[in-house]
Amino acid sequence: MNHFDWDNLRVFLGVARVRSALEASHSLGMDQSTISRRLHRLEADIGSKLFDRNSQGHRLTSAGHRLLEHVEKLESTLAAVESDVFGDNMALTGEIRLGATEAFGSYFLAPHLAHFCTRHPAITVDLLPMPRNVNLSKREADASVTVDRPTTDSFVTSKLAQYRLLPYAMPGYLQQHPAIQSVADLAGHRWIDYVDDLLFTDQQVSLRKWLPAARPFLRSTSVIAQLQAVRSGLGIAMLPCFLASEEKQLVPILAHEVDITRNFWLVAPAERRELARIQALWDYLRQVVDANSDFLMGSSAKVTWLP
């Protein structure tokens, strides 16, 4: 280990967390072949195999698990040094990695974060919109917007917003299929739904729970894919109002009868929440959603922008 490259630990950590060199390549900013070379070099330096590699990805060996524990501790120590020694807790500069649900991150947060970055040009924001929960314990992000409220005391958690979901369809679909007068009529229609055994939270609204008599014609883990299927005229899907309202042709169904709401929670590890740049983003997100509460609840189709 005379020529040990500490930067390879960052590569190891990125792959270990997502179990895939391909997925890690996006967050690490390097191609798969570079990642592979760095991992092999790290294994040679350490003298132990760290991953079992197969078509399913990268699975940690026992040596890999032991190294991961040490590297995560090292990461926490470096984060504390960044905050305490370099005065990072006071400076509006640096990088923020923000996790979010797929639709909220892509359709709502992204344009507002562009405005935040204009306000704070010394801050770089990495937005991670994903159809799963971002793991803050493994430091996949500095903060996250999630539909699940964490139960651990190690996180600072605040209710960010409430949002509404409704059934939506295209006018052409509704004209060609039986009229919908009540919730009971919905069961006989063509539905786009989630893949039940791949739901990442019980807060996702699936037909199995909400309308068990209905049969899905198409299922996807991605709510954005569901939106595109509805736009094609395939059928009906339960969509967040903030997502569907961006598509002016979509028609809400039984808006006066269907009342399904969920909450977004803003979450960060306590030590990250104290950083000035995290606090600035935290406060900005709260201002943005407060100004757009009607939009998120579907009572307005207009997005409000902060000055």
- Within a domain: 71: yes
Q: Of the residues 84, 104, 128, which one is the last residue of a structural domain?
A: 84
Q: Is residue 291 part of a domain?
A: yes
- As beta bridge partners, residue 166 has 239
Claim to verify: residue 168 and residue 253 sit in the same structural domain: yes
Q: Are residues 31 and 73 in the same domain?
A: yes
- Tell me the average pLDDT across 252-271: 94
Q: How does pLDDT run across 189-208, given as a tens digit for each residue?
A: 999 999 988 988 889 898 88
Domain assignment present for 76: yes
Residues 100 and 242 in one domain: no
Asked whether residue 128 is domain-assigned, the answer is yes
Q: What is the pLDDT of residues 87-105, one digit of tens each?
A: 555 568 889 999 999 999 9
The residue among 84, 114, 148 that closes a domain is: 84
The CATH number of whichever domain residue 36 belongs to comes to: 1.10.10.10
| Domains identified in the chain, total number | 3
Question: Is residue 2 predicted with pLDDT exceeding 70?
Answer: no
Write phi, then psi, for 267 (nearest 5 degrees). -135, 140
Percentage of the chain modeled with pLDDT above 70 = 94
Range(s) of the domain holding residue 79: 7-84
DSSP conformational letter for 184:
G
- Whether 268 and 129 map to the same domain: the answer is yes
* Contact (CB, 8 A) for 58 and 21: yes
* 72 and 186 fall within a common domain: no
The residue that leads in pLDDT, 228 or 26, is: 228
Give the three-class secondary structure for 284. Answer: helix
- Residue 301 domain-assigned? no
Q: Higher confidence at residue 149 or residue 27?
A: 149
Choice among 192-196, 223-227, 245-249 with the minimum mean pLDDT:
245-249
pLDDT-based confidence at 251, cuts 50/70/90?
very high
Same domain? For 184 and 239 the reply is: yes
The answer to whether residues 207 and 214 touch, using CB atoms and an 8 Å cutoff, is yes
The strand pairing partners of 261, in sequence order, are 164
Full DSSP string of 119-164: H-TTEEEEEEEESS---TTTTS-SEEEESSPP--TTEEEEEEEEEE
At 90 the pLDDT is 59
